[in-house]
Chain A
Amino acid sequence: MSETLDYLRSSPLLGVFLTLLGYRIGRELKRLSGDHPLVQPVLVAIVFIGTATWLLDIDYDEYLIGGSVIAFFLGPATVALAVPLHRQAHHLRELLVPMLVALPVGAFVAISSGMLLVRGLGGDQALERTMAPKSATTPIAIGITEQIGGITALVAVFTIVAGIIGAVLGPTLLNLLRVRDHRARGLAMGAASHGIGTSRALHEHPVEGAFAGLAMGLTALLTSLLVPLAVHLLG
């Protein structure tokens, strides 16, 4: 038995299978709940895999042997976001100016408010600098945090949580705020909640998904340019 467990700990098999199973359960629960926004497959899977690895006494690094096989496809999936954008390209020209204004302003608001709120609520400087890039996708946020002296281990957590909040609450909040234009909704989701928000937006409406993917890419770029500036200004 322990020999079998040792094999499973060193093989990608278990990590890949647990990830697919957790996601499958998440999708099933989502269907059974009648598409309740709180039942996000990614959230259900995290709880399921967290519990399973704890019961089997498998630590995160061992899970990642298989997990990183799945995560590898984030790269090509990001490239694939060009396809919904290509299908909606006719909307792009009229949206160019609104986008070029709203996305930089939005990125700066998200960065500076994140830093000031952490400071105001009693966090230290390292935590403040870890919060700054949370709207960017995880790999970029990690790079930025390294550069400005934040806590790299935590920044991945912050970006994932920012994504999950968006997937859970984003569309409901946008309804409350009376943002009905699918292009504006998508841009807001991608700007505030990167890839996880984009994945929810893709399920809401094709136009929303296309603009969320675009906002995600541009916000990643803007965040890497604006965080050093915000750190300089708010020092």
Chain B
Amino acid sequence: MLNGMMWLLGCQLVGEVISRGLDLPVPGPVLGMVLLFIVLQVRRPPADANVLRTSDALLRHLQLLFIPAGVGVVTYLAVLRDDALPIVGGLFLSWLLGLVTVGWLVVLLVRGKGDHSTGAQRAAGGEPG
């Protein structure tokens, strides 16, 4: 657990330093994710490695970590009421358009790659969602 947390915080730290130092638009934790991905691909740790177990534990409760920001929504309910139509309509419909665009485009492009990919797609999990 200790080593795992050190890896995660260490990657985030390096990510933050790179992001802020070079004034990049990518946030530190996302750079840290890329960094850890590269480390894992190169070092190929065993399945019971500390960093893997810590990550799994943290991701199992990912929703918990958004609750503090979510509670902030309650404090803006009055503001939201004044502009309810453009906010609710804009938010929901553009969310929907984003989801549909990505979902359908990926399906379309994967299918377009021919029999080999379609087979892989079926093998990767064709069972209904």
Contacts and interface: CB of A to CB of B under 8 A. Distances in A.
A135 B71 CA distance: 19
Identify whether the interface residues of B are mostly helix, strand, loop, or mixed: helix
B58 interface: yes
A122 B39 CA distance: 49
Given A77-B62, A184-B110, A157 B101 contact: no
A71 B70 CA distance: 10
29 contacts: A23-B63, A46-B70, A46-B71, A50-B71, A60-B72, A63-B68, A71-B65, A75-B9, A77-B65, A83-B40, A97-B109, A98-B109, A102-B109, A106-B101, A111-B94, A113-B93, A113-B97, A117-B90, A127-B87, A157-B80, A160-B73, A165-B95, A170-B99, A174-B103, A177-B104, A181-B125, A189-B99, A195-B66, A225-B25
Interface of A: 15, 19-20, 22-23, 26, 40-43, 45-46, 49-50, 53, 60, 63-64, 67-68, 70-71, 73-86, 89, 91, 94-95, 97-99, 101-103, 105-107, 109-111, 113-114, 117-119, 121-123, 127, 131, 134-135, 137-140, 143, 153-154, 156-158, 160-167, 170-171, 173-175, 177, 179-185, 187-189, 191-193, 195-196, 198-200, 202, 204-205, 207, 209, 213, 215, 217, 220-221, 224-225
A189 B98 CA distance: 9
Contacts of A105: 101-102, 105
B103 to A, nearest CB: 4
Contacts, number: 327
A71 B69 contact: yes
Interface string B73-110: 11110011001011101111111111111111111011
Contact of A70 (B67, B86, B91, B109): B67
Identify whether the interface residues of A are mostly helix, strand, loop, or mixed: helix
B71 to A, nearest CB: 5
A157 B76 contact: yes
A184 B129 CA distance: 11
A121 B66 contact: no
Given A80-B59, A83-B51, A165-B92, A98 B106 contact: yes
A107 B95 CA distance: 10
Interface of B: 5, 8-9, 11-12, 15, 25-30, 32-37, 40-41, 51-52, 54-56, 58-76, 79-80, 83, 85-87, 89-107, 109-110, 113, 117, 120-121, 124-129
A162 to B, nearest CB: 5
B113 to A, nearest CB: 7
Nearest to B117: A94
Nearest to B127: A180
A191 B37 contact: no
Given A76-B9, A94-B113, A185 B129 contact: yes
Contacts of A157: 72-73, 76, 80
Contacts of B95: 110, 134-135, 162, 165-166, 192-193
Nearest to A221: B26
B111 to A, nearest CB: 9
